[in-house]
Structure 1
Amino acid sequence: MVVKKNKGANPGKYFDTMGTVGTIGLHMVSHPAVGAVAGYFLDDWLGTKPWMFITFLILGVIAGFRAVYADTKKVMRNQEKEDNERFQRKD
């Protein structure tokens, strides 16, 4: 098996991008989970079952999608910058 080296590739940027992309799944799980747990304990403390749970779960889902959007934007911006450097665009 012959592996060709890409002259313009930087392994540090590759691993940084893969790390950012890898956290997207964690954001989609962790944000709603934190919201649900916080809502559950607030419901128990305030006696408002199930309203705080539902409210914080929805806020957690919104926060998860917002984090995924921000990460995706970051990856796309870095990829565009790398493409511009690689192909020497002057846009």
Structure 2
Amino acid sequence: MDKDTDPSGESFDRRLKAARERIEPRAAAQRPAGGGMSDLGLVLRAGTELVSALVVGVAMGWGLDHWLHARPWFLILFSLLGGVAGVLNVWRLVRPEAMNAEANGPDNGSGRI
């Protein structure tokens, strides 16, 4: 057997990686070393999750207060609920299991690797 038909897995993996880099040289160069979201992207997404959940909670509370003339009870309640929802969204984003899943690639629910 010559080196191109070597049945070992290491040889195949090395040749596959080299072929992919030849086909997609720019994509391989632009890919971050960690494979996941950049730090700035993570911070911006976490801030957006927190603020948007709080804004939605305040808007719902204000709308219900205005509609039912029950100021300020719904505003207080939904502000707290929006804050809690935002913190839970950020927690889901930054917990270690989510970071590992993101680094391994998207999960489409098919169960395939």
Could you state the TM-score of these two structures normalised by the residue count of structure 1? 0.64
| Aligned residues of 1:21 and 1:71 also touching (Cα < 8 A) | no
The higher relative CO (CA closer than 8 Å, separation ≥ 6) is in: 1
| RMSD (CA atoms) | 2.8
1:80, CA displacement in angstroms? 7.9
Q: Which of the pair is proportionally richer in helix?
A: 1
1:36, CA displacement in angstroms? 0.3
Cα distance change on mapping 1:47 and 1:33 into 2, 3 Å: same
Given residue 24 of structure 1, which amino acid in structure 2 is its aligned partner? Answer: A
Cα distance change on mapping 1:21 and 1:15 into 2, 3 Å: farther
Structure 2 counterpart of 1:11, from 5, 14, 31: 31
| Aligned residues of 2:54 and 2:86 also touching (Cα < 8 A) | yes
1:39, CA displacement in angstroms? 0.4
SS at match of 2:71: coil
1:22, CA displacement in angstroms? 2.8
Structure 2 counterpart of 1:66, from 88, 94, 98: 88
Aligned position for 1:52: 74
**Runs of 4+ with deviation above 6 angstroms:** none
Identity of aligned residues (%): 31
In the alignment, structure 2 segments of 5+ residues that lack a partner are: 1-28, 105-113
Could you state the TM-score of these two structures normalised by the residue count of structure 2? 0.53
Give the distance between the partners of 1:13 and 1:52, measured in 2 at CA: 47
Structure 1 counterpart of 2:64, from 13, 19, 42: 42
Count of matched residue pairs: 72
Q: Which structure has the larger Rg?
A: 2
Confirm whether residue 31 of structure 1 aligns to residue 53 of structure 2.
yes
